[in-house]
Amino acid sequence: MSDLISAIIKKLEEYSVEAVEEVTLVIGDLTNLGEEQMEFAYEIMTRETKLEGSKLTIEHEKINVRCKSCGYSGGVEEIKSDCTCHSVPILSCPKCKGDVIVTAGQSCMVKNIRIVET
Ligand SMILES: [Zn+2]
């Protein structure tokens, strides 16, 4: 998360940006980054930077896998946990239980930065 923010700030330094209105991040469900934690961290880490006061929007990326054995491609099964609102993905093929290659869900990237032009 801090790496991501430093990268954004560095990028913004290349342009003459007055202020940033909104930053949209795409976070894969596999990254285990909690939305609330991220918003909190974002607020602290952007203080006294050009990102201060900007809105953080988080979009989730669903986990997608491809099976090495049967060629299945799609989502995975999840174990719903009672004590938290988190569900735990099962990283094996829902059809044949074979090994899978994760094709989506590991992202942690900046999708869009809306700036206030000078
Ligand atoms: Zn399979």
Mean residue pLDDT of the chain comes to 90
The confidence score (pLDDT) of residue 4 equals 86
Number of domains present in the structure of the chain = 1
How is residue 82 written in tokens? 């009672």
CA of 63 to the centre of ligand 1 (A): 16
DSSP states of 57-103:
EEEEE--EEEETTT--EE---EEEPSSSS-EEE--S-TTT---EEEE
pTM for the predicted model, two decimal places: 0.79
What's the mean pLDDT in 22-42?
A: 90
- The fraction of the chain above a pLDDT of 90, given in percent, is 58
How is residue 93 written in tokens? 């093929």
- We report the CATH number of the domain holding residue 106 as 3.30.2320.80
- 73-74 and 108-117 strand pairing: unpaired
Question: Domain containing 41: what range?
Answer: 2-117
SS3 107: coil
Instruction: Kindly list the protein residues that place their beta carbon closer than 5 angstroms to ligand 1, a single-atom ion.
Output: 67, 69-70, 72, 93, 95-96, 98
